[in-house]
Structure 1
Amino acid sequence: MITKRHRDRVIKELKQAGVTRYGLFRSESKYLPQLLHENEHIGGVIYGRVGIDFTMLVATDKRVLYFQSKPLYSETDEVTYDVVSGVKNSYAVLFSSITLHTRVKDYTINFVNVRCARKFVKYIESRRIKRDNSMNSQPSQPTPQISIFHNNTNTAGLKFLKEHEVAVLSTTDKKGMVSGAIMYYLVANNLIYIITRSETTKAHNIFGHGQVALTVYEPSSLKTAQVSGIAEVENDADTRKIIFDQMIKSKHYREGESFPPVTKFTDGSYVVIRITPKDIKYRDFSKK
């Protein structure tokens, strides 16, 4: 339930960000209080056209929201500041064109109010500087090593895992129901990393029950690896950036070049999950 106090506070912050009466009248402005949390505050806002559609891009103290609100539906995309790589402002006489660069994709809005554009760019840059300073001030910590890969079988299993990048991730919800999903993964320092969205089933399952399983199978060689372990959200900013840079890249598919499927989801923010293996079973069924 959206309170009047919350709605009034959001409108006040929109005005402070430079939104005009016309902008406040738009459905995106009226819908925004439903998207923002009670303790979430607006730092910058731009709104304008993407093609023929009216679109709003909101930078808060927690995330960036890109959305359109229509009479019958709304479309929202959410990114964290970890993936924001820059912002470009192309000024014209009366309007601006703003492009927010992220490691997932670029968001461009045209015919933007110049006052809003300047405030938005300034806020995005301040967040990037704050993030970079925070990362630089933190002493680098060695990535913890784990020692489950101690025999020949597990060494071969680790090698097999590193040679692949796609697995079936199995998670369990609070009722004990198992869910499986095809995932890209990355092995680094004997830890396994995946990237998902915070509103996916797998993410909710991991938040409530960290025990997971990962299965990799190579049909052509009859080799398989089954990993069981504990999944947790990776909170180290440096590690998250490295994993994101490594995994969110354009890949070649039969239909052409595209980013991984996780970039196609729109609900929730990106989350880097770290899996600490507890056991690995590697089998080569081609051997008699």
Structure 2
Amino acid sequence: MLRDEIITVFGGSGFVGRHVVRALSKAGYRVRVATRRPHLAQDLRVTGVVGQVQLVQANVRVPSSVERAVEGASGVVNLVGVLSESGRQTFSRLHAQGAKTISEAAASAGITAMVHISAIGADVASASRYARSKAEGEAFVKAALPSATILRPSIIFGNGDGFFNRFASMAQFLPALPLFGGGKSRFQPVYAGDVAQAVLTALTSEAARGETYELGGPGVYTFEELMRFTLDAIDRRRFLVPLPFMLANSIAFLSEMAAILPFVQPALTRDQLIQLRQDNVVSDGAKTLADLGIDGETIEAIVPDYLVPYRRHGQFHERVV
């Protein structure tokens, strides 16, 4: 049975957004997906029963569209984010100013239940523009809506992710994969489905109001370990080549220059390299998935299944031992 409450999800057509819309629909909420291009997200309508998922046009850079999107809603989820900048889609405009616009619109509408997705490593003093913008966005949200819940995930994995899929794709064509800075940085990958469940729990839990949670999965891995895991999952043998950050920085610069061309996304940016210099794991003493009552899925249980297309013969591949 459908609930009366409407939850507006900004960024609901993205990778994590689709998991969140599915979780909210399964819980019986009416979901309003606010996206810049509704015509490209029509498949979300079948996530729930007829009429349960509504698509509306909204741009976080246009306050009036955001205000319309939250009208009549009982909760708001902000998932808007990019990993690299392009044109007017900058970190500052989306992560900081966009978060400010959404939280202020929610507060004006009398909404108290809001979940804002940030990132582990968000820090106003960071050398990374991405990390600074995430921290600025958190501050804007807290100022406008103190009851909002902040979720800071590590790298997020799941079918369609931009991490394991990217390196598995590279391994199809390249003889080697890079280990930035020697591959020693540590990560704590978290499953997109668990992030979605965390969003649902945070929306419905009074105990989560105004709290900040850092979301990481059960395992901590170095970048090198993640590359070896990826290669093992697709059963391909490739060299792993340590790449000093200084050299990687030059490659990233060239990648950014190539991205000036229309429809070209940078394979690597200098800002991403700054982030790769730091561990991306849950902080000591932070509230975690466990505090939300969630047992995280492991990469071993999820990733190999959706990396099947990268094996030499896909699902018909016979593993070589």
User: Shorter-chain-normalised TM-score: which range?
Assistant: under 0.3
Q: TM-score, normalising length from structure 1? A: 0.24
Greater Rg by CA: 1
Where is the strand percentage greater, Structure 1 or Structure 2?
A: 1
Which has the larger share of helix? 2
